[in-house]
């Protein structure tokens, strides 16, 4: 436990996927919090401050979009990186996810290696929500929240 690299919150209603993610990320020395619903995620955030959130969109009751909107309403989590996992493709869907508060989009089925790399890069600071959105680049780009979400979406589309 002394080698923990950070705390991640995984929000995913599908037990198998959530469990695989947890095991994988624990192997990578992250502390992993799990939520099966949006409400569970919001409850966890009352007492925990994860370094990064992995968010499924298709969730019962409170979907991922609404969950992210509520998370972003809390000032404490305005800058917490959120990686959105979604089976839906298409620019409209990606834009909606970014508008709701997501920073990065990954298609399902999840490419675990790519996800691990993305998490690592975000937490290592080589990618932040205030800098370049493309993997491996260090070029300064406008902050995601002010008008560069299309870049992330394009990047995700290319990699899908």
Length of the chain: 160
Q: Which of 34, 44, 58, 63 binds Ca ion (CB under 5 A)?
A: 58
Q: Is 88 in the site for Ca ion (CB under 5 A)?
A: no
Q: Is 127 in the site for Ca ion (CB under 5 A)?
A: no
CA-nearest of 100, 75, 72 to 86 is 100
Q: Which of 8, 9, 11, 13 binds Ca ion (CB under 5 A)?
A: 13
Our CB check for Ca ion shows the closer of 13 and 156 to be 13
Our CB check for Ca ion shows the closer of 88 and 120 to be 88
The pair of structure tokens assigned to 47 is 């007492």
The pair of structure tokens assigned to 139 is 């070029």
Our CB check for Ca ion shows the closer of 51 and 88 to be 88
93 alpha-carbon distance from chain centroid: 15
80 within 8 A of 51, measured Cβ to Cβ = yes
Our CB check for Ca ion shows the closer of 111 and 129 to be 111
CA-nearest of 89, 103, 109 to 21 is 109
- Cα angle vertex 121, ends 116, 123, to 5°? 95
Least distance from Ca ion to the Cβ atom of residue 130, Å: 29
Least distance from Ca ion to the Cβ atom of residue 19, Å: 14
Q: Which of 8, 37, 45, 56 binds Ca ion (CB under 5 A)?
A: 56
> Contact residues for Ca ion (CB under 5 A)?
13, 56, 58
């Amino acid at each position: 436990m002394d080698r923990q690299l950070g705390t991640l919150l995984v929000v995913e209603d599908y037990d198998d996927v959530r469990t695989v993610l947890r095991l994988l990320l624990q192997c990578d020395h992250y502390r992993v919090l799990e939520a099966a619903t949006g409400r569970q995620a919001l409850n966890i955030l009352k007492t925990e401050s994860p370094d990064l959130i992995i968010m499924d969109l298709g969730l019962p009751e409170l979907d991922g979009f609404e969950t992210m909107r509520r998370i972003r309403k809390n000032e404490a989590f305005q800058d917490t990186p959120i990686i959105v996992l979604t089976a839906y493709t298409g620019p409209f869907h990606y834009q909606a996810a970014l508008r709701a508060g997501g920073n990065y989009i990954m298609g399902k089925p999840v490419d675990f290696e790519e996800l691990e790399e993305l998490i690592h890069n975000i937490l290592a600071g080589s990618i932040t929500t205030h800098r370049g959105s493309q993997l491996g680049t260090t070029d300064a780009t406008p902050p995601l929240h002010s008008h560069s979400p299309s870049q992330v979406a394009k990047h995700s589309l290319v990699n899908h």
